[in-house]
Amino acid sequence: MTLLMRVKRRRLFGAEMTPPPASCKTFVSSGHGPAGEADYARDRGLGESCAVRLPADWPVRHQGDRGTCVAHAAIACAELTRFQMTDRLEPLSEEYVQYHIRRRQMEGAGLSGRAWLHEAGDIMETAGVPTAAAWPYHLFAERDDPDDPPSAVAEAEARVRILPTDVIDDAARREKSIAQLLHWVLKDGRPAAISFPIQRRADSVRGGTNWTTPLARSHGIVADPPWDFDPRPPNGTMAEGHAVCVTAYLRDARARGGGWFMFRNSWGPGWATEADACAQPYAVRALPGRGWGVMSAAYVDTFCSELLVMTRPPT
């Protein structure tokens, strides 16, 4: 997934949300790309820890062998935002968002090896989203078919759930640290979906990445790419990236950038298998359970590609 920001609108800090404080400072003055490690060492974090309120029962979902992390991250952000507004959790359909992403790609420039959060956002605020019960998610790759449309019931449900969203644009990224902006969104009581490139590990013969190290698979701690990491081949591919829903910031001097962003992954409870009961001294204790993880503020600030939020209370 490329490092370039994909611009949708410039409404993120418009009338729907109070602008972030002037104290939001820039970690990466160039807008994207590697930052000096000393720059992060001088800063002791983004501020105090903060977290979005979570439902008592919000099971981690599993995308299976399909490339649907964008749909999962966007839907998780929508579900949690609606929960903040209504105090009621309503599972929504990742399958619907994925179908329309592929359908619109086919009608435009053609099917792509990647999806973007701005594509998911466009769908949620133009077509809407039905419940997961109206169109359940399928784990099998053959279901990723733009010629297999949703039912009339699912389409009718979607029309009554229009979810306004926005994705941060390149201009905002140059002016402010994206990690600071994400911290501010969380302090405002809103979750966010973010996307970023994944680093292939040169020492892995099985195509391992910084998301599949033993530390990540067991404890949910994602390794930082090196400062000079280039997501282009052979270190990565333009289509290889990931997206997650971020729900909290945990101030911690052990993390580069002074803290961790906590997220809900979409790889099921078989990832971060010891997150809910780990005796290791370096483990992050605040994780809600299996399938949850953390990534450093430096990782987010340096490599984040897109940041999606809900811009006003959804209908």
Residue 178: closest CA among 70, 1, 305: 305
Q: Is the pLDDT of residue 33 over 70?
A: no
C-alpha 15/C-alpha 12 separation (Å) is 9
Confidence of residue 83 (pLDDT cuts 50, 70, 90): very high
Residue 221: closest CA among 182, 195, 183, 252: 252
Q: Is the pLDDT of residue 191 over 70?
A: yes
C-alpha 91/C-alpha 230 separation (Å) is 37
User: What is the third-level CATH fold of 39-52+62-310?
Assistant: Cathepsin B; Chain A (3.90.70)
Who contacts 35 (Cβ-Cβ below 8 Å, separation ≥6)?
A: 27, 28, 227, 298, 301, 302
DSSP character at residue 226: P
Q: Is the pLDDT of residue 42 over 60?
A: no
Torsion of Cα atoms, 225 then 228 then 233 then 234, to 10°: -80
Q: Which one of 20-29, 170-179, 291-300 scores highest in mean pLDDT?
A: 291-300
Q: What is the mean pLDDT of residues 17-41?
A: 38
Residue 36: the pLDDT is: 41
C-alpha 27/C-alpha 182 separation (Å) is 13
| Cα angle: 288, vertex 161, 105; to 5 degrees | 90
Q: What is the mean pLDDT of the chain?
A: 79
Whether cis (ω within 30° of 0) applies to the bond prior to 226 is no
Residue 207: the pLDDT is: 64
Residue of higher predicted confidence among 298 and 229: 298
Residue of higher predicted confidence among 204 and 298: 298
Q: Are 161 and 92 in contact (CB under 8 A)?
A: yes
Q: What is the mean pLDDT of residues 256-270?
A: 95
Who contacts 220 (Cβ-Cβ below 8 Å, separation ≥6)?
A: 265, 271, 272, 275, 284, 287, 292, 293, 294
Encoded tokens for 266: 């979409």
Place of tokens 């970023």: 196
Residue 147: the pLDDT is: 72
Q: Is the pLDDT of residue 194 over 90?
A: yes
Summarised one tens digit per residue, pLDDT across range 45-57 is 788 999 999 999 9
Q: What is the mean pLDDT of residues 85-108?
A: 92
Residue of higher predicted confidence among 93 and 240: 93
First to last CA, the chain: 32
Residue 274: the pLDDT is: 85
| Cα angle: 281, vertex 286, 292; to 5 degrees | 100
Q: What is the mean pLDDT of residues 30-40?
A: 38
Cα atoms found within 13 Å of the Cα of residue 249, Cβ hemisphere only: 29
Confidence of residue 114 (pLDDT cuts 50, 70, 90): confident
Percent of all residues in the chain with a pLDDT value above 70, rounded to a whole number? 70
Residue 28: the pLDDT is: 31
Confidence of residue 113 (pLDDT cuts 50, 70, 90): low
Residue 78: the pLDDT is: 97
* CA distances to 101, 244, 261, 286, 310 from 222, in Å: 28, 12, 10, 15, 26
Confidence of residue 109 (pLDDT cuts 50, 70, 90): low
Summarised one tens digit per residue, pLDDT across range 146-177 is 678 899 999 999 999 999 998 885 445 556 68
